[in-house]
Amino acid sequence: MQNVKIQPSILPAVRGRYTADALLGAVGWFRAGGGAEVLFKPADLEDLQNFLNLCPKDIPVTILGVLSNTIIRDGGVGGVTIRLGREFASVEIQDDGLVKVGAAALDVNAAEAAAQAGLIGLEFLCGVPGSIGGAIAMNAGAYGGEIRDVLVSAEFVDRDGVLHSLTSTDLNMAYRHSEIPDGWIATGATFKTSGRNAPENIIAHMTSIREKRASTQPIRSQTGGSTFANPKPEELAVCGLPEGTKSWQLVDKVGARGLKIGGAQMSELHANFMINTGGATGADLENLGEEVRRRVLNSFGLTLHWEIKRIGNKV
């Protein structure tokens, strides 16, 4: 980032913290990209509501989680970027088998808390990188489960600071898709579970998920998870491709496994994972993804859809 354009005097008084010219890319999972013009970490829900209600509506507001599946472009993010902290990271086990989770809680923490309580159904979350807010936004899933299977309701704050509660039906959840109204910020969710078992049995199941993930995905690299969503059946049918064809198979077929642009590379271990081999810029990562998309489109007539978010300004 170069010059901060927002004058602090025009921002609402808050109990949380504003940081000008704050690091983003350097703390994201890719370790690449620019910063935030202004970063705001609210003290609690009321502080967030107050900020959204009073912040001038012509100032762009961006919500970010733990940056597990996000490319920050090198020009950084203008306006105010909000990151929810530990005040939004609670995990509460209720007597009726429901699990109430803050949007900033890590997916794996929700899975582990449910397992320790002997509750079945959230184990898949230990295989989903990132936080609950991001998982809701993309209906994240892995190893046979996805958010819409377990979501009772998700709580949001709109751009005026008003609270809302929506179900998976309200959000029209589909494969890697949720329809969250523009400007709404997830603050938490309530999940249902599907029964009880001994905690050690549930933990053993989660251990098998972790082991499978470690053997097939470059989780120890600077990566952002799956780069592209798997094609829908109707997309495959139009292109004459076999039902069930996965994105990694298409990346493989166009010779892009291990493909490099600058410091960015499609993983040799899992062709649908992009990694920063060291020194990658946000542009390297995005350009690599676009090159893969171009090759797949030219070879098969199919457009791969980004699963990784790309935000901010290009240089």
Tell me the CB-side half-sphere exposure of residue 88, using CA atoms within 13 A. 29
User: 68, 168, 226, 247: which is the annotated catalytic residue?
Assistant: 226
Q: Which of 176, 257, 293, 295 is catalytic?
A: 176
> Dihedral of the CA atoms 159, 164, 165, 170 (nearest 10)?
-70
Q: Amino acid identity, residue 187?
A: T
Which two three-digit tokens encode residue 246?
């996965």
Residue 9 annotated in active site: no
Neighbours of 17 (CB within 10 A): 12
Cβ–Cβ under 8 Å, residues 190 and 99: yes
What is the maximal distance between C-alpha atoms in the chain?
A: 58
Alpha carbons 208 and 204: distance in angstroms, whole number: 6
Torsion of CA 220, 225, 228, 234, to 10 degrees: 120
**DSSP secondary-structure letter at 78?**
E
- The reply to whether 176 belongs to the active site is yes
Separation of alpha carbons 60 and 44, rounded Å: 21
> Which residues are part of the catalytic machinery?
176, 226, 307
